[in-house]
Chain A
């Protein structure tokens, strides 16, 4: 980018002035102090980037007019453009006139300048004398920081920004401080919180006061109630004292009245009427007494006899017992007969057993238990035993006959085997016979060959005419046909010739071996046939022996089977003998017969057993009855059946006597009933009198009459007293007086005094409670109006708001400073090596190769420089001039590193204090730099007259 022309409408001292900048790279602008160099630089920056009103108004032309101008620039677009910016016109924004007549706005310009703003531009591309002066005044630590910051942004602002943020943070908050604003607010909030808690506690008493109010109100109500009660009692006591004499008299009369146990009514002339009835009843009562005595004597006799009589149930039991006695007597007779019969049966059985002559006694019969199959089983055992014995005998004989036959056949075979020739001899004889047969057939074949040869020998003769025909064909020049025909003629003759040559040796061989043996052949034939017959016979006998041996084996197996069966039968017989030992001595064939005889004996034995059981049952029955009979006799308090009979007889006689006595007594009873009827009207009247008064006796009736008189008198007196009390007391109270429920006069007087005192005290307490209630009520109303908690809560909120504002400020500062620090660290790691590499080149050039490298040590974040002897120097070891060179190197390196667009440099007399040598080196570097970037150099110096000097 190149600025070719600047036209100023007005900017500080410059009014309506035009500067044309040549094509040369460095634009030297010289002028004394106050000539307007800085103003010119500011004007160019204003036109490019604008400026804040506060800053721009410093450049207001004294004569008035617009601040602003135009600037022609090449390199931002294909064609040159003109930027116009006028303060307070178009809101101070630039207007860009393109070559094609189009107009663009500020945004277009900013995009062309890669969105670099003025501060960034100044930081990198603008140098002035102040920059260097500033670093010259710094201590080494600050300088290191500033140089690092410059390395990063081109300016020292990182350092100052961090400082500024830290300062702000410190003013807001320190973890252990008291003065910073937030620390103060914390303290204030704590204080407010205490006040708030206190106010809360105060308001909390509201609930207590409400409950207090309820309690006092309840107490007041209770108090009121007590006073009323006491006053009521006081009046009552007072009244009692007034009527005390009457009350006491009433009580006494009532007591007297209550003591008399009288009925409320009494019959009219009751006593007189009683006396008259008594006089009338006296003679009837005397007669009745005599009859009663007679009747009593009879009753005594009846009672005695009745007690002597046996009860009807006892009598019937006695009769039953006597009948049972008779019945049992019959049973004893029957038993005797049965015993005799059983004895006879036993003797008969024993006799029969004796006749059988077997070892079986009468007692052993009990052990015999013939089943339904015993007879069958004994019969079967007898038959099978006999059958198997016979069979065994027969098989034994068969076996012996078979053994003899086999022996004879084996003997015959042995004789024949001696006469038979060997198999080899027979085969050899057969071979000889075969050879003789072959020789005969050969002789016949030779005969047939001889005949064939004779016929073949005639074939070559047929070839002669054919050859002649061939010769003819040669002659008539038919050579080809001649050859063919000649071949046909020659080939059969050749064939016959070869065939005769082959057959001839065979004929010679057969003729040599021809032998004659017909007789020998016949003999041999006969011998062979004989031998073959004998061999056939031997084979037949061998077959027979084999069959017989099989038969013999079968017989042997049958014999084993019979033995096994016989053993089984024997086993069964033994079982039977074991079960029925008496069979031991008896042959098996007699068992069935024995069975029948024993069965009959067993039937008799069972009859005997049945009788025996019946006898036993009857004996037990009789014994049991006798025992019961004895007990029964004892229960009737007699010793024998005879005594029992006499006792029943006596009882019958007493019964008859008792019936006569009862008849006499009935007569007397009728007499008594008549007397009672006479007395009844008088008795009824007297009973009515006693019933009316509800008394049981005549004496009681008379006493009741007297009591009734006294009571009636007392009642009249009491009623008079009650009437007088009714004026002051209720009926209930009067009743309680009558019951004696009233205190003594002295006690009543004391109560009256005490009640007076109580009432006075209660009234005093009532007043006190009322005062308390008023107080509590007032407190409640006051509490209900309280707004302290609400206010304090809002106050705390205000303080919290304030605190939150500061906290936010602190947070923003803290985030900003921490992020800057973090970015710094990242940035250094990423870019510083590259930057220092570029800066080192400038530094090397500026120091005439004295210093070759700028080095940054991460461990202490410190910048060092290295000289051409490879020695390291810290910043404090460098001269001021070298430090300036280091600063410039970093700035120039930064311009290479961070901007793509080649923007112009503005250098405002920055190197004024450089010595000539150093300045020359600097100028040389700038000249090189100006090849890529346009360079405006503002200076007071006029010494070297360079090209394109604009002198102000």
Chain B
């Protein structure tokens, strides 16, 4: 029997976005969450008495690693060494070999794929080879060739595991660049028993025969990475492979929507959000929620503009931050009511304005003066399509609000 943990994309020491306004203890908890999740991973490996742990790329978040991340990793590996648990590590596009800040002074139970060429390690039990583990590491940030043809079974072994940090051709994920691309059919033709993938942060079992698995990352880092996060515990009993998902995250990122058409007063918003927070408190987990108020009226737009909504959010966040399992609202988004029919006809100015917002496909170019500014280029992230869409909607809300309710008056 072989038992191992398949994990990837640890992104140790990844900075967290949009938490600066949170209470201090929440910020600390969120920042520490990745390390806690990693410690959970080590604990699970020891408790489950696994034979080995596969870490398929992107252990570190960025090209220049921090000491904290480095030491956490060494500490974890040393703990596994005490229980004779082997670790097979490959590096991905975030922590490619040539960028390493620190020497890889890991204990002897850690086996590293040191080349951008598929190599293999034998995992032995009682002197016999029971599994062969294949893999490679990124030498530079980009590997744009298909590496699958390099994966070849040359010697017999009871179980063949291929580790591969790359993009499956059929997955369209705007959050991840396409690296080491491959097709599912190619993997199926290779006769491996288990394809341990990495790179895509959304957990997914792509195939069960053979198993082709993305375990996702171990801790969500923003509202783009919502839901439970963790690793797969894989057991092979000599006949079949069994997969169990083990959650490792300590902070959950969530998105929710609330109907706001009936909110006449700001207290309605407060009560509604308070109820949402209290409901989530019952889960006994640290939760970060992005709330979208749907069908908002001009009133909500006004409260948003004059800071009332932010006040409500801060009030609630402060109130619930001292709980051990706190629940926090990270952002409140407004989704406007459907526009009146007459507006769509575009007869009056507002109607025409609406059409202009709907039909303008050069919004991105409009923003060049900031995003192409030397400092803008340096410090601002590229605008995603989703963001641009949101902002256009918000811009329309703002323009409509100003044209209806009034802007600055002299």
Contact = CB atoms under 8 A, between A and B. Distances in A.
Interface of A: 52-53, 91-92, 110, 114-117, 119-120, 152-153, 155, 157-158, 160-165, 167, 173, 175, 182-183, 185-186, 189-190, 200, 203-204, 206-207, 210-211, 783-790, 793-794, 796-798, 800-804, 807-808, 810-820, 822-823, 826-827, 830, 898
B379 A206 contact: no
Contacts of B350: 120, 153
B402 A787 contact: no
B60 to A, nearest CB: 11
A114 B360 CA distance: 27
A182 B396 CA distance: 23
B15 A794 contact: yes
A823 B391 CA distance: 18
B67 A206 contact: yes
A120 B406 CA distance: 11
A790 B391 contact: no
A898 B340 CA distance: 15
A74 to B, nearest CB: 22
Nearest to B12: A790
Contacts of B20: 798, 801-802
Contacts of B282: none
Given A802-B20, A820-B353, A790 B69 contact: yes
Nearest to B374: A186
Contacts of A818: 366
In the A-B complex, list the 4 residue pairs whose CB atoms are closest, starting with the nearest.
A115-B340, A164-B407, A797-B15, A161-B402
A210 B105 CA distance: 9
* Number of chain B interface residues as a range: 35 or more
Given A160-B407, A204-B101, A175 B373 contact: yes
A360 B15 CA distance: 134
Interface in B388-409: 391-392, 394-396, 398-399, 402-409
Contacts of B341: 115
Contact of B360 (A162, A175, A186, A822): A822
Contacts of A822: 356, 360
Given A92-B264, A800-B379, A165 B407 contact: yes
Interface string B366-394: 11011001011011110100010001101
Contacts of A810: 370
Interface string B325-364: 0000000000000001111000111101100110010010
A117 B403 CA distance: 12
Contacts of B64: 200, 789
B264 to A, nearest CB: 5
B398 A813 contact: yes
A92 B299 CA distance: 14
B102 A814 contact: no
Given A790-B13, A803-B380, A153 B349 contact: yes
Contact of A812 (B69, B70, B394): B394
Given A797-B16, A801-B17, 9 more contacts: A173-B370, A200-B64, A210-B103, A210-B105, A785-B71, A789-B66, A789-B68, A793-B62, A798-B19
23 contacts: A53-B265, A115-B341, A116-B340, A117-B340, A119-B405, A120-B404, A186-B375, A189-B379, A203-B102, A204-B101, A207-B102, A785-B71, A787-B68, A788-B67, A797-B15, A801-B17, A804-B380, A811-B391, A814-B367, A816-B398, A819-B356, A819-B357, A823-B353
B64 to A, nearest CB: 5
A58 B67 CA distance: 62
Interface of A is mostly: helix
B30 to A, nearest CB: 10
B292 to A, nearest CB: 16
B352 to A, nearest CB: 5
Contact of B262 (A91, A162, A165, A787): A91
A164 B402 contact: yes
B31 interface: yes
Contacts of B363: 815
B67 A823 contact: no
A812 B348 contact: no
A935 to B, nearest CB: 22
Given A160-B407, A819-B357, A819-B399, A812 B67 contact: no
B403 A161 contact: yes
A819 B16 CA distance: 34
Contacts of B387: 808
B49 interface: no
Contact of A819 (B360, B367, B406): B360
Contacts of B394: 812
Given A793-B66, A823-B352, A815 B395 contact: yes
Contacts of A185: 379
B57 to A, nearest CB: 20
Nearest to A142: B410
B103 to A, nearest CB: 5
Given A153-B349, A210-B103, A787 B405 contact: no
Contacts of A207: 101-103
B18 interface: yes
Contacts of A183: 375
Contacts of A164: 402, 407-408
A816 B356 contact: no
A785 B67 CA distance: 8
Contacts of B105: 210
Nearest to B299: A52
B391 A815 contact: yes
Contacts of B264: 53, 91-92
Given A207-B101, A818-B366, A803 B349 contact: no
A188 to B, nearest CB: 10
B406 A157 contact: yes
A103 to B, nearest CB: 19
B340 A794 contact: no
Contact of A826 (B302, B356, B378, B410): B356
Given A158-B403, A797-B16, A786 B68 contact: yes
A164 B410 CA distance: 11
Contacts of B404: 117, 119-120, 157
B39 to A, nearest CB: 16
Contacts of B376: 807
B407 A157 contact: yes
A98 to B, nearest CB: 22
Contacts of B16: 794, 797
B409 A160 contact: yes
A786 B67 contact: yes
A816 B399 contact: yes
A787 B66 contact: yes
A160 B401 CA distance: 12
Contacts of B381: 800, 804
A201 to B, nearest CB: 10
Interface string B41-71: 0000000000000000000001010111111
Nearest to A199: B66
